[in-house]
Amino acid sequence: QSALTQPASVSGSPGQSITISCTGTSSDVGGYNFVSWYQQYPGKAPKLMIFDVSNRPSGVSNRFSGSKSGNTASLTISGLQAEDEADYYCSSFTSSSSWVFGGGTKLTVL
Amino acid sequence: QLQLQESGPGLVKASETLSLTCTVSGGSISSNSYYWGWIRQPPGKGLEWIGSIYYSGSTYYNPSLKSRVSISVDTSKNHFSLKLSSVTAADTAVYYCARLSSAVGLSLDVWGQGTTVTVAS
């Protein structure tokens, strides 16, 4: 299975909003509402930020939001903060009854 | 509080089988609300899904790795294991175990700290 497509990097200034896209196919992103987003700091395990396209786990800031249109899912971070600088990965359930990750996006807070 | 801990050799010879175990503490691996998974991350690269298992033994594998992967569960020891055969340098990675929870759409909500496995040629 092929990895989902994410931009390699995005950047934004504190207080701004940024959006990270995640493009798949009708066999994964487009076919299921099982899209998740993870945040990862260097040398650390990933942390779940969004599940089922747009739901936040308990304890995750409401500055993080998710959406989906067709085969593309998106993660939006509003009110950007320095602590948001990290790598972000999307993930989707697939028609093979497995999961697939995106290639990851490095977020830089300017 | 649920914790997951990976264990196993940090160095494996090429063509041999990589074996790792994930021990679950603070909760039961036999809950019908969870699956248990393995994910890896090569140095400087992104995450790759390896596979997952239910406590009953049902398994789901990444099609790209399916021919070399086996995941098993031992409910009496509250742990699950990964075997990856015929390893090459491309299998060098940090290997994570994690819980998939039905409460969050079977996303990975609890992770181990990860263990580094190097394949030596």
Distance between terminal CA atoms of chain A?
35
| Contact residues, chain A, for B49 at CB < 8 Å | 91, 98-101
Task: Give the 3-state secondary structure of residue A3.
Answer: coil
Is A98 within 8 Å of B60 when comparing Cβ atoms? yes
Q: Which of B43, B32, B29, B33 is nearest to B97 (CA)?
A: B29
The reply to whether B64 touches chain A by the CB within 8 Å rule is yes
pLDDT of B121: 85
**Token pair for A68:** 């989906």
Is B46 within 8 Å of A96 when comparing Cβ atoms? no
**B119/B88 Cα distance (integer angstroms):** 6
The reply to whether A82 touches chain B by the CB within 8 Å rule is no
pLDDT of A91: 98
Q: Which of B53, B59, B58 is nearest to B97 (CA)?
A: B53
How far away is chain B from the Cα of A83, in angstroms, using its nearest Cα?
Answer: 20
**Cα nearest neighbour of A57 on chain B:** B104
- B107: nearest CB among A51, A100, A104: A51
B73-95 pLDDT tens trace: 999 999 999 999 999 999 999 99
Q: Which of A58, A66, A77 is nearest to A33 (CA)?
A: A66
B81 touches B21 (CB < 8 A): yes
pLDDT of B38: 98
How far away is chain B from the Cα of A63, in angstroms, using its nearest Cα?
Answer: 19
pLDDT of A1: 75
**A45/A38 Cα distance (integer angstroms):** 10
Is A101 within 8 Å of B47 when comparing Cβ atoms? yes
The reply to whether B106 touches chain A by the CB within 8 Å rule is yes
pLDDT of B45: 96
**B103/B51 Cα distance (integer angstroms):** 19
A31-88 pLDDT tens trace: 999 999 999 999 999 999 999 999 999 999 999 999 999 999 999 999 999 999 999 9
pLDDT of B108: 96
Distance between terminal CA atoms of chain B?
40
- A45: nearest CB among B49, B60, B113: B113
**A76/A67 Cα distance (integer angstroms):** 8
pLDDT of A2: 87
Is B111 within 8 Å of A57 when comparing Cβ atoms? no
Is B113 within 8 Å of A52 when comparing Cβ atoms? no
B84 touches B18 (CB < 8 A): yes
Tens-level pLDDT at each residue, chain B (121 residues)? 999 999 999 999 999 999 999 999 999 999 999 999 999 999 999 999 999 999 999 999 999 999 999 999 999 999 999 999 999 999 999 999 999 998 999 999 999 999 999 999 8
